[in-house]
Amino acid sequence: MHSFGYRANALLTLAITILAFMCGIASFSDNFNTPIPTTEVQVLNINWFQKKPDGDDEVSLTLNISADLQSLFTWNTKQVFVFLAAEYVTPKNALNQISLWDGIIPTKEHAKFLIHTTNKYRFVDQGSNLRGKAFNLTLHWHVMPKTGKMSANKLVMTGYRLPETYR
Amino acid sequence: MDWQGQKLVEQLMQILLVSFAVVAFLTGYMLGSFRTMLLTYAGGVVFTALVTIPNWPVYNRNPLNWLDPSVVEKYPKPLPSNTSSKKKSTKK
């Protein structure tokens, strides 16, 4: 501590060590938040439902997605990524997950929303299994904190059964 | 900076930084703003740097008083024979 340089070095080292501790405690404080998100998705319409020339089934849906994810946000949350997946079982695959819509929520104010949309990504099956198929609609979310570990969770909602015939 | 000053500076640095960290964390947590925490802490670090890094006169109140060369010459230097006898004793 006898010279300018030594004091500057000691100060910086201690300051950054303490900053790391503060970030650690901030990350820990997220444990006190118990999120209670609510979501609801309605399939309003089947726009079309057909077999593609290569034999795979494809369907186009119109959806109403409403969600209140505000309780996911704490002071240590940078953003939340959400996506809506259709999940179903086929003889070939134990779990098919098809992302129909996704979004990035930057702030708590944007975390309560109602979106009326057609599926953003194509709903194509690996094969021709969609006629009469019941699927679950699941909202997945990934929470990205400012410091600490990313976490993910999901909410399974009531499903929907596709019609027996193409249209 | 003298010895007393260095001790004081080290203690001041630790106390200031830790207390600013506690204040910054609490304000950030209360206001729910991570940014506020970082800015408060950054301000605290800058303040601490201004207080402790420059060689302020406060830290030079207890200078070391070395003997004047004229005083030193009045007294005989320690004899080298002492060290040689010690060496012999250790060899035995």
Note the pLDDT of residue A1.
74
- CA B3 vs. chain centroid, Å, equals 7
**Would the pTM of this model clear 0.90, i.e. be above it?**
no
ipTM given for this complex: 0.77
CA-based angle B49:B44:A13, to the nearest 5?
55
- A1, A4, A75 member nearest B10 (Cβ): A1
In chain B, what residues touch A11 (CB-CB under 8 Å)? 13, 17, 45, 48-49, 52-53
Q: Collect all residues with Cβ–Cβ distance below 8 Å to A18 and sequence separation of at least 6.
A: B17, B18, B21
DSSP for residue A127: S
- In a domain, residue B89? The reply is no
Q: What is the nearest CA distance from B26 to chain A, expressed in angstroms?
A: 10
Note the pLDDT of residue B74.
84
- In a domain, residue B8? The reply is yes
Give the structural domain span for B6: 1-54
Read off the pLDDT of each residue in B55-67 and give the average, rounded to a whole number.
87
Cα separation, A5 vs A9, whole angstroms: 6
Task: Evaluate if residue B89 carries a pLDDT over 70.
Answer: no
Task: Evaluate if residue B1 carries a pLDDT over 90.
Answer: no
Note the pLDDT of residue B84.
53
**Which of A2, A9, A18, A29 to mutate: most B Cβ within 10 Å?**
A18
- In a domain, residue B60? The reply is no
- In a domain, residue B40? The reply is yes
Per-residue pLDDT tens for B15-55? 999 999 999 999 999 999 999 999 999 999 999 999 999 99
Q: Collect all residues with Cβ–Cβ distance below 8 Å to A5 and sequence separation of at least 6.
A: none
Cα separation, A69 vs A116, whole angstroms: 17
- In a domain, residue B10? The reply is yes
Per-residue pLDDT tens for A83-117? 999 999 999 899 999 999 999 999 999 999 999 99
In chain A, what residues touch B55 (CB-CB under 8 Å)? 4
Query: What would the two tokens of residue A70 be?
Result: 């505000």
Q: What is the nearest CA distance from A97 to chain B, expressed in angstroms?
A: 36
Contact A11 B33 (CB under 8 A): no
Number of structural domains, chain B?
1
Per-residue pLDDT tens for A5-41? 999 999 999 999 999 999 999 999 999 988 899 999 9
* Higher per-residue pLDDT: A124 or B86: A124
Task: Evaluate if residue B92 carries a pLDDT over 50.
Answer: no
